């Protein structure tokens, strides 16, 4: 059955037995998922006890808004990975339908304070508004799909952050001293909010910073323990859990990153199963002490902008470290995030983490970062290195997403124009393509 027939024919499956005040509905395109999308979901989740997320089809988005960058399957993966989502609902109609939300037992629909229109220029939420079943939350400032597309096409670097800790402290940034402090305080509060648990109300993930020299962060030439500092203390590893470490740029946080993280969890669950983690006795023991939990605690190290640009050039990362870190924080597969993690996790770094030496360091099938040496020499020598093999989304990374934009520039230009954004033009696109080609040649020589 086509997506249009699915949307017009009504929601699939049995209807919920009742409509619940605490079951909230949000819907959208969720095209290359960013922290603004996650912010909408977080605010919606805080208004209830469950969150159902409608995802529009590629066809309905094309008809009403323009082309998507990510496929429906990739967008579903991104929504399902958000820790505040209870259930995703693919093929949700572009104009929010009362029968659809009622079918899933949702009383209220939540959306940001911006206007969303269909292809006829009418409000997509007109029916739920008329029924008194609509609630408004604040739109996340300074981030949108349109902004990110602009960065890709214009090759700008103004989004880079030199020192995240100084920016949060109000010591760097734009404006007066008071404005910089206010901006830093707002950004810090947002980080704390994204570190909440699945309710969006209580502490969940821990947020850490690692401070060291640029040599220690960028290459493996310097063995430094560095300094770990905590912004937000969340959950800690529970008895019996293995602590595992992953790291990366996580630029344009997408299905490639998400599937890698999901596979890490699956690998650890398989190991746990082999060691009796899911035996009746083990489960009863954990439940008897409070509640059951999984066998793994995942820590994600996120590299800063300067480090990624050193390796990848052009204007990568497309998202700065703050934006990338928030994307990682909202992911349900992560328990703690370290901002400013080194490109090479050395022995000094790994043995100095707040959790001690991890039980495993996982790496995925990346082809995005050009490497002139093996950054995982230390964990291999320590016997804790593990690899995740190829998976369905292994080829999806920031570079591929940029290429998708470049190949369909005319369509995305029209999408930008409809949103009132000044056209980028062919010259800017040619510049981007030239820079990408020069970077590829440098990588080949390396």
Residue-wise pLDDT tens digits, 61-72? 999 988 888 999
Tell me how crowded residue 107 is: count the other CB atoms within 10 A of its CB.
17
Q: What is the pLDDT of residue 181?
A: 96
Structure tokens at 276: 């009796």
Q: What is the pLDDT of residue 381?
A: 97
CA atoms within 13 A on the CB side of 389: 1
For residues 229-243, average pLDDT = 96
Residue 371 pLDDT exceeds 80: no
Q: How confident is the model at residue 233 (pLDDT cuts 50, 70, 90)?
A: very high
For residues 210-227, average pLDDT = 87
Nearest of 280, 283, 258, 321 to residue 81 by alpha carbon: 258
Residues in Cβ contact with 413 at an 8 Å cutoff, skipping those fewer than 6 apart = 423, 424
Task: Report how far residue 140's alpha carbon sits from residue 111's, in angstroms, rounded to the nearest whole number.
Answer: 11
Higher pLDDT, 181 or 424: 181
* CB neighbour burial string for 191-202, b if at least 16 within 10 angstroms, e if fewer: bebbbbeeebee
Task: Report how far residue 87's alpha carbon sits from residue 7's, in angstroms, rounded to the nearest whole number.
Answer: 18
Residue 20 pLDDT exceeds 50: yes
Residue 6 pLDDT exceeds 80: no
For residues 379-404, average pLDDT = 94
Q: How confident is the model at residue 1 (pLDDT cuts 50, 70, 90)?
A: very low
Residue 446 pLDDT exceeds 80: no
Q: What is the pLDDT of residue 144?
A: 80
For residues 188-195, average pLDDT = 96
Residue 416 pLDDT exceeds 70: no
Structure tokens at 322: 């703050």
pLDDT in tens, 268-292: 999 999 999 999 999 999 999 999 9
């Amino acid at each position: 059955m086509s997506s249009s027939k699915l949307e017009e024919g009504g929601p699939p499956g049995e209807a919920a037995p009742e409509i619940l005040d605490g079951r909230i509905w949000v819907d959208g395109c969720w095209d290359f998922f960013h922290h603004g999308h996650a912010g909408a979901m977080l605010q919606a989740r805080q208004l209830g006890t469950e969150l159902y997320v409608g995802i529009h089809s590629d066809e309905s988005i094309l008809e009403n808004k323009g082309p998507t960058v990510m496929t429906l399957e990739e967008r579903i993966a991104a929504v399902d990975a958000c820790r505040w989502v209870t259930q995703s609902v693919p093929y949700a109609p572009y104009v929010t339908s009362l029968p659809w939300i009622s079918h899933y037992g949702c009383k209220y629909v939540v959306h940001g304070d911006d206007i969303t229109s269909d292809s006829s220029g009418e409000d997509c939420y007109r029916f739920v508004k008329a029924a008194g079943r609509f609630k408004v939350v604040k739109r996340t400032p300074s981030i949108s799909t349109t902004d990110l597309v602009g960065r890709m096409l214009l090759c700008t670097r103004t989004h880079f952050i030199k020192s995240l800790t100084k920016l949060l402290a109000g010591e760097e940034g734009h404006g007066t001293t008071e404005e910089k402090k206010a901006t830093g305080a707002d950004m810090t509060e947002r980080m704390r909010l994204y570190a909440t648990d699945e309710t969006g109300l209580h502490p969940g993930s821990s947020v850490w910073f690692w401070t060291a020299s640029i040599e220690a962060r960028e290459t493996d030439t310097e063995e430094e323990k560095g300094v770990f500092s905590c912004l937000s203390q969340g959950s800690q590893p529970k008895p019996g859990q293995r602590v595992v470490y992953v790291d990366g740029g996580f630029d344009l946080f997408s299905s490639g990153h998400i599937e890698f993280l999901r596979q890490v969890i699956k690998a650890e669950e398989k190991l746990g199963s082999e060691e009796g983690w899911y035996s009746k006795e083990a489960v009863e023991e954990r439940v008897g002490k409070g509640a059951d939990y999984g066998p793994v605690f995942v820590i994600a190290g996120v590299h800063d902008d300067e480090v990624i640009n050193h390796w990848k050039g052009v204007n990568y990362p497309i998202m700065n470290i703050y934006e990338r870190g928030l994307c990682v924080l909202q992911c349900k597969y992560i328990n703690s995030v370290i901002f400013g993690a080194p490109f090479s996790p050395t022995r000094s770094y790994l043995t100095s983490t707040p959790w001690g030496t991890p039980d495993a360091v996982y790496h995925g099938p990346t082809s995005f970062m050009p490497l002139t040496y093996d950054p995982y020499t230390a964990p291999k020598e320590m016997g804790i290195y593990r690899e995740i093999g190829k998976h369905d989304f292994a080829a999806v990374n920031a570079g591929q997403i940029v290429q998708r934009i470049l190949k369909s520039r005319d369509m995305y230009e029209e999408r930008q124009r409809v949103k009132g954004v000044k056209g980028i033009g062919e010259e800017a696109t040619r510049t981007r393509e030239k820079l990408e080609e020069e970077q590829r040649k440098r990588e080949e020589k390396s």
